[in-house]
Amino acid sequence: MKIILLGPPGAGKGTQAKSISNNYSIPHISTGDIFRKNISERTPLGIEAKKYIDRGHLVPDELTIDIVKDRLIEKDCDNGFLLDGYPRTVNQAEALEIMLKERGEKLDTALLIKVPKEFIIDRMTGRRVCTTCGASYHIKYNPTKIAGKCDICGNFVIQRDDDTEETVVERLDIYDAQTQPLIEYYTNKNLLSEVDGTQAINDVFKNICGILGAINSDNN
């Protein structure tokens, strides 16, 4: 399946992406994870991207679109992919459509994880992420089994530099201005599906499986 995940920062995209990717055997592609890897390796891309990410701004489309282009031509995307955090602008969505069209492919769905703003600050400031595999935890809602260590790979979990209340508020404004229009964009293409993201993590996942199962059988 070819899926993109939409939703504000803190909606639970990364959390659900790990489970969806396992269930459907498709790679989880997170542009945020790709940028963070480049930042930790101090590549030219990472140094440039960090300037925007630390302020809660979007990395410019010129940098972001090429990264996704390069990633989608890798062999593991032959049977589909799950994009988490891309597209974030209409320009990025149009670029994705062209990339897929050139391969004779199209998206199965743009899945919106709906979470009202009042949930977001609490989720983001309590978030902890694995420095190695990117798994996302929460100090209250999804704690690691061993304090400070990732359940999956055993490495350290940390708080992201951009998960401060101030930056999250900025990111939410940017979401409203630049990413929210994608909801209408994919509605007009009959590709939007929605799930209530306020429920417990496992319940959200069950609902996602129901939605994706129905789309998959319709498309086959």
β-strand partners of 84: 5, 30
CB of 151 to Zn ion, least distance (A): 8
Which among 73-81, 102-110, 198-206, 210-218 is the span making contact with ligand ADP, rule CB under 6 A? Answer: 198-206
Which residues of the chain form contacts with Zn ion (CB under 5 A)? 130, 132-133, 135, 150, 152-153
200-207: long-range contacts, CB 8 A cutoff, minimum separation 24: 201/12, 201/15, 201/16, 201/141, 201/142, 204/12, 204/16, 204/113, 205/16, 205/19, 205/20
**How many residues bind to ligand ADP according to rule CB under 6 A?**
36
Q: Which does 153 bind (CB under 5 to 8 A by kind): Zn ion, ligand ADP, none?
A: Zn ion
Catalytic pick from 2, 18, 88, 128?
88
Nearer to ligand ADP, 198 or 215 (CB): 198
How far is 144 from 136, CA to CA, in rounded Å?
A: 9
Return the ∠ at Cα 140 (arms to 135 and 144), rounded to 5°: 40
Among this protein's residues, is 51 annotated catalytic? no
Which among 54-62, 95-103, 187-195, 210-218 is the span making contact with ligand ADP, rule CB under 6 A? Answer: 54-62
What 3-state DSSP class applies to 149? strand
CB of 72 to Zn ion, least distance (A): 24
Catalytic pick from 2, 50, 123, 171?
171
Among this protein's residues, is 171 annotated catalytic? yes
* Strands, sheet with 157-158, edge to edge from the N-terminal-most edge strand: 136-138, 127-130, 157-158
How does 185-209 read in b/e, with b if 16+ C-beta sit within 10 Å? bbeeeebbbbbebeeeeeebbebbe
Feature table: binding site for ATP = 10-15, 127, 136-137, 199
Amino acid identity for residue 33 in this structure? D
Instruction: Give CA torsion, residues 81, 58, 168, 155, to 10 deg.
Output: 50
Convert residues 87-126 into a mask of x (bound to ligand ADP by CB under 6 A) and - (unbound).
Answer: -x---x------------------------------x--x
Residue ranges that bind ligand ADP, judged by CB under 6 A: 7, 9-15, 30-32, 35, 52-53, 56-59, 64, 85-86, 88, 92, 123, 126-127, 136-138, 141-142, 171, 197, 200-201, 204
